[in-house]
Structure 1
Amino acid sequence: MAQKQLTSTEDLNQFVAETGKRLLFKHSTTCPISATAYSEFQSFLQEQSVPAAVIHVIEDRPVSNAVAERFGIKHESPQIFLLDDGQVKWHTSHWKITKDSITEAVKA
């Protein structure tokens, strides 16, 4: 399933307001660790049908900051969140973002 790119706080609010499980990935387009994590995220999405969105943290800094403020979770990059009915059920960052870790979180 393809993911949306969130470029405004309105996009973020709409994505979070939707019901059910969904993944939100904060991606730094200049970081090699983020590139690896993003590849794991994409690999997961090729096999699983979960609504997903990505925020480019450098290009869309206000949206990235809004995530940290909204959920009270310190900003990191790369960072992934599993939302369920608008609430964070799981999150992790950096090398812990793997296809397997995402799969386990979504199943839980």
Structure 2
Amino acid sequence: MDRSELFDEFVRRLNGFDSRAAADPGGEFIEITRWEGAPLVPPVRLAIDASSLERHLHALEGDGAEVFPDAPPPIGALQLFLVHVGEEIETRGPDDELLTLHGDDLSFLGNAP
């Protein structure tokens, strides 16, 4: 699976479980407007593109294989990253909008380590 297909698969999976997400036309972020049935106001903007997603998933492959041993490594990493995104969304503050990667850490801008 090339990086573009992996990015498309990530967006597709973000849209599961009564959630809504769309990549911006420039490919610099993904806007998430609904998460597990709840509207997100303000929407979450995940600052990620196909290249940075590919790098991050590569770094997560070992952990993804432990958590999702039956999935191929890139998909296990993708599933684990979805868990991380969900955790950040569910624990965000009322003004948190921009979700970013800082090395291997995912956090809302202003809450970066």
TM-score, normalising length: structure 2: 0.28
TM-score, normalising length: structure 1: 0.29
Q: Which one scores higher on RCO, CA 8 angstroms, separation ≥ 6?
A: 1
